[in-house]
Structure 1
Amino acid sequence: MSKKSVLITGCSNDGIGYGLAGHFQRRGFRVFATARRLSKMSNLEGLADVTFLALDICDQTRIKAAVQKVIQETGGELDYLVNNAGISHFMPLLDEDIPTAKHIFETNVWGQLAVTQAFAPLLIKARGAVVFITSIAGHVNVPYMGTYAASKRSLEIMAETLRLELAPFQVRVLSIVTGGVQTLGQSHFDEFALPEGSMYKPIEDTIAKRARGEDGKQRSGLLGHAEQVVTAIVAGTAGKFWCGQGAGATKFASTHLPTSWMDAGVSKGTGLDHLSKEHGNRYGGREE
């Protein structure tokens, strides 16, 4: 009996995709691990049944090449597609560079759809599943994460719609609503800076620390998180699977707590209270 296959986007070292690739490989899967640069996946080198593919999910030529490679290796079937590649982002919305924001959506939304469209015939043939790595950020309005959160919530809505549209073809769709996980993603903001003239300059250091993950919040271990996710995928889970530090609490709070409570929680430690005092206003009205 041939091995089941999985293609995972965004498998750079010590990221979620890397963790998922390792766990799928240990469970006996044929793994297609992808990243924009093959050198970024060096920690997976030497593992049996792991094939590296260079894939930029915003490049149709690269996507088509990846599809052809998988067809050659599997005979035209793919059991699981895991859409993990994405870009994290921090910036107050008033300071947002619109071309940058469009690029975030190009990767986090349209790139995911492009890959899914391309591999859909292989998934349908295998009666497989497509998985989207979404985020709890899409369920809470955390300051400075508006663009990123909007992209992740957009992806989740598309995933939930695809869940219905692919059902007639016996293809499952699963969204992993991801909480805090310890990865190298926080290291991408070592040189974070606000644009000149930003009204948020007085709290720039606070925003930068939060972007780097220096917010005092706990995060789930990468490998333990990856094992939970792979278990959910192979168990046949569909719909939304909340996983990672804070995921369960966010699911409850975003559904049941008053907006004022949520606002207070997500604003804590962001520096907005400092700005309110500086400008003579508090959230509830003018400071006396």
Structure 2
Amino acid sequence: MAKERTILITGCSAHGLGAVLALTLARQGHHVFATARDTSKIPSELSSLANVSVLRLDVSSAESVAEASKVVEDAGRGLDVLVNNAGFGYTMPILDIDIDKAQDLYNANVWGTVRTVQAFAGLLVKSKGRVVNVSSVGAVVNTPWIGTYASSKAAVNAISETLRLELSPFGVSVVTIMLGTVATPFHANEPTPELPATSYYSAIVDTITKWAKGQTGPKGGPVQDVVDSMIPDIVAEGRNGVVWRGANSTAVWFGSRWLPGRMLVS
């Protein structure tokens, strides 16, 4: 049994990975700061627990992140683990990307991760704690239509591994979780692709829409199974570096490391 820790998790809206992760950790006796951009979306079975503190946190907003950091510091419990889970997807052919939407995605997925690490670094250094950044196997497999999302996760990978080196002198570990496919409503927050009339891909907009809504592609594994596999990466001693978790993640790890590029494409 891991010792009791204080853990902050971003993106804890109902039915998502963050909410299940927060609930599982709280039931194991850890104190959890469960955060979301809209706290009304945090499930009551989580928010009602005595060892759960609900906190508004919009990773896209520097002001919101700073306010949340002050609340956690003022609570006096310290912080052992920061789990960066918040983010969203954007399915669109590269030629048709709306740059403003792409910037919003990067602001949340990439710079949101950096903001939270910067804001909570003092507490983590004091506790010799851990940063856990939730990434995606999509970062290492070139899949049509999700280039914006995949590239944001590739950026998170590079930032995480650099942070691992930069924070190691202070006793802070950094774990990057390369997440496979998970059966969550992640795609529910994605807008329906609206291709311009001049798009080269107009003839297959229905196919692209199915990808955006999670109606095609590899099926996700049960959320609880994925969460259970992640728990040691968050609370066990000595965890550091890149790990692969969830359905299809092992196959992607093997393929991206050992197979020729042409086989991955096929």
Give unmatched runs, 5+ long, in structure 1. Answer: 265-288
Q: Specify whether residues 62 and 188 from structure 1 end up closer, same or farther in structure 2 by C-alpha distance, changes over 3 A only.
A: closer
1:277 aligns to what? Answer: none
Q: Match of 2:111, as an amino acid?
A: W
Stretches of 4+ aligned residues off by more than 4 angstroms: none
2:7 aligns to what? Answer: 6
Cα drift, residue 197 of structure 1: 1.8
CA contact 2:79–2:124 (8 Å) conserved in 1: yes
Determine the C-alpha separation between the residues in 1 that align with 2:99 and 2:191. 22
Cα drift, residue 190 of structure 1: 6.9
2:70 aligned with 1:61:
no
CA contact 2:90–2:191 (8 Å) conserved in 1: no
Q: How does 1:27-46 map to 2 (within 5 A)?
A: 27-43=28-44, 44-46=46-48
Question: Which piece of structure 1 moves more, 11-20 or 180-189?
Answer: 180-189
Cα drift, residue 163 of structure 1: 0.4
2:236 aligned with 1:238:
no
2:260 aligns to what? Answer: 258
CA displacement 1:83-104 (0-9 Å, x = unmatched): 0111111100000011111111
2:100 aligned with 1:94:
no
TM-score (normalizing by structure 1): 0.88
Give secondary structure in 1 for the equivalent of 2:110.
helix
Q: How does 1:1-288 map to 2 (within 5 A)?
A: 3-43=4-44, 44-75=46-77, 77-189=78-190, 191-215=192-216, 217-236=218-237, 237-264=239-266
TM-score (normalizing by structure 2): 0.95
Give secondary structure in 2 for the equivalent of 1:99.
helix
**CA-based RMSD:** 1.4
CA displacement 1:223-251 (0-9 Å, x = unmatched): 11111111222123210110011100001
Give unmatched runs, 5+ long, in structure 2. Answer: none
Q: Specify whether residues 216 and 130 from structure 1 end up closer, same or farther in structure 2 by C-alpha distance, changes over 3 A only.
A: closer
Q: Specify whether residues 8 and 140 from structure 1 end up closer, same or farther in structure 2 by C-alpha distance, changes over 3 A only.
A: same
Q: Match of 1:117, as an amino acid?
A: Q
Question: Which piece of structure 1 moves more, 20-29 or 186-195?
Answer: 186-195
Give secondary structure in 1 for the equivalent of 2:177.
strand
Q: How many residues align?
A: 262
Larger radius of gyration: 1
Cα drift, residue 217 of structure 1: 2.1
